[in-house]
Amino acid sequence: MTDRSFPADLFAGSRFAVAGLGRNGSAVVQTLLVMGADVQVWDDRNPPIADPTQPRLTAAPIETLSGFDALILSPGIPHLLPTPHPVAEIARDAGVPILSDAEILYQAVRRTGSKARFAAITGTNGKSTTTALLAHMLEKAGRPVAAGGNLGTASLALPLLPDDGVYVIEMSSYMLERLHSFHADTACLLNLTPDHLDRHGDMAGYATAKRHVFDNMTADDQAVISIDDSYCQKIALTCIEHGLSVAPLSIDDRTSVAAIASALHSSTTLPGAHNLQNSLAASSMARHLGLDESAIADGLKTIPGCRIDKRLLGSSTASASSTTARPPMQRPPKKRFSAMTRSSGLPGVRQNRAGSTHSLRFSRVLPRRTSSGAMPRFWKKP
């Protein structure tokens, strides 16, 4: 793939403040300057020095944000808990949005007119592997792809992709709570276990941050959500209630496992049950992005890594048609989420299209659309 450059005047006339100059922050500054923006930067630990060759770059403590379009905070700098950084309080007082680099990437891509699609992956564990696996599948299938985010290449260091391209973005909870207009065509929540509770207060706060990955999605998009832990189950139910199309993710779903078992038996990579889940997630997202079973199998067979525990897969000759699927569950009543039952199973599971034996999808309970045709945003930012 030949990298394309963002237009040099894409953000001309816009002003951004960037706090923190680590891997993400440095990429943000460099790219915004290339795009024509005016940028003020500061890092408390390593104060930057002004560069006389960059007239649109100001290196100075951020004491006011009047006239600025946004503040981009490095992921490690808190804006709420345990104690907000002073610059975050300045932004809040000035009504200036606090954004992540992934949000700026999304805005930049859409400003160019590119219709490249976005795939977002989050969870406590498995994000990096699933991101790499989905990107590998797409690349092997000949699709223009750029992957990065939380680890690896910073979001704003990724190139501009054409209309048929796909950005595969690994997203941490820190990134997710600083989104605004970011809209994933497919997004995945792999799992949730206690993590970063100092930044989010408790598990409820952590789960709230993670579910922002589904913000701005419509019924035409795909939310891939684990149903193997109770926190993810609750988020899946909320997504169903708000009309999103949810593909449940479980290593106990024998139909879904059977669909990729042959490819995984042929693979020399992807160890353990957790990577079976990662493979299922990447495969589901790849289908939504238009890859066929042959392309998905090719990606699974060729991804670099370690050997999988094939006892998880059963017989290599098993086929989806000969494997017993998880029985369909009853469609939920059209009630408010707070009134929905919290049974051990998830309601409304059905096959997602006639004849399909490899992917399940939750029945849709559609809310009223906005005047633009988009589904309403259903989680407010703190």
Indicate whether 109 and 166 sit together in one domain: yes
CATH of the domain at 33: 3.40.50.720
Inside any domain, residue 379: no
Predicted local distance difference test score (pLDDT) of residue 332: 36
Question: 247 has which bridge partners?
Answer: 224
Rounded to an integer, what distance in angstroms lies between the CA atom of residue 237 and that of residue 105?
30
At 276 the three-state DSSP class reads helix
CA 364 from centre of chain = 21
Inside any domain, residue 1: no
Q: b/e for 187-222, b at 16 or more Cβ within 10 A?
A: bbbbbbeebbeebbeeeebbbbbbbbbbbbbeeebb
Indicate the number of domains in the chain: 2
Rounded to an integer, what distance in angstroms lies between the CA atom of residue 119 and that of residue 300?
18
**pLDDT per residue of the chain (382 residues) written in tens, 0 to 9:** 556 899 999 999 999 999 999 999 999 999 999 999 999 999 999 999 989 999 999 999 999 999 999 999 998 898 888 889 999 999 999 999 999 999 999 999 999 999 999 999 999 889 999 999 999 999 999 999 999 998 889 999 999 999 999 999 999 999 999 999 999 999 999 999 876 667 777 888 889 999 999 999 999 999 999 999 999 999 999 999 999 999 999 999 989 999 998 888 777 666 566 789 999 999 999 999 999 999 999 999 998 763 333 333 333 323 332 223 333 333 333 332 222 222 333 433 333 333 332 333 333 222 333 344 443 333 333 3
Indicate whether 135 and 22 sit together in one domain: no
Indicate whether 59 and 183 sit together in one domain: no
> Of the residues 84, 99, 114, which one is the last residue of a structural domain?
99
CATH of the domain at 313: 3.40.1190.10
Indicate whether 160 and 295 sit together in one domain: yes
Domain that holds residue 340: 101-363
Cα torsion 208, 212, 215, 221 to 10°: value is -110
Indicate whether 126 and 22 sit together in one domain: no
Indicate whether 77 and 202 sit together in one domain: no
The two tokens of residue 170 are 């690994």
Indicate whether 303 and 349 sit together in one domain: yes
The structure tokens 């409820």 sit at 204
Rounded to an integer, what distance in angstroms lies between the CA atom of residue 96 and that of residue 331?
43
Predicted local distance difference test score (pLDDT) of residue 261: 87
Predicted local distance difference test score (pLDDT) of residue 305: 63
Indicate whether 28 and 171 sit together in one domain: no
Inside any domain, residue 172: yes
Inside any domain, residue 2: no
Inside any domain, residue 377: no
Indicate whether 282 and 323 sit together in one domain: yes
Cα torsion 327, 120, 100, 370 to 10°: value is -70
Inside any domain, residue 282: yes
Indicate whether 42 and 134 sit together in one domain: no
Check the CA dihedral 328-330-336-337 and report its sign: negative
> Of the residues 99, 123, 139, which one is the last residue of a structural domain?
99
Check the CA dihedral 94-154-138-239 and report its sign: negative
Predicted local distance difference test score (pLDDT) of residue 2: 58
Inside any domain, residue 380: no
Predicted local distance difference test score (pLDDT) of residue 266: 72
Indicate whether 339 and 202 sit together in one domain: yes
Inside any domain, residue 371: no
Indicate whether 81 and 157 sit together in one domain: no
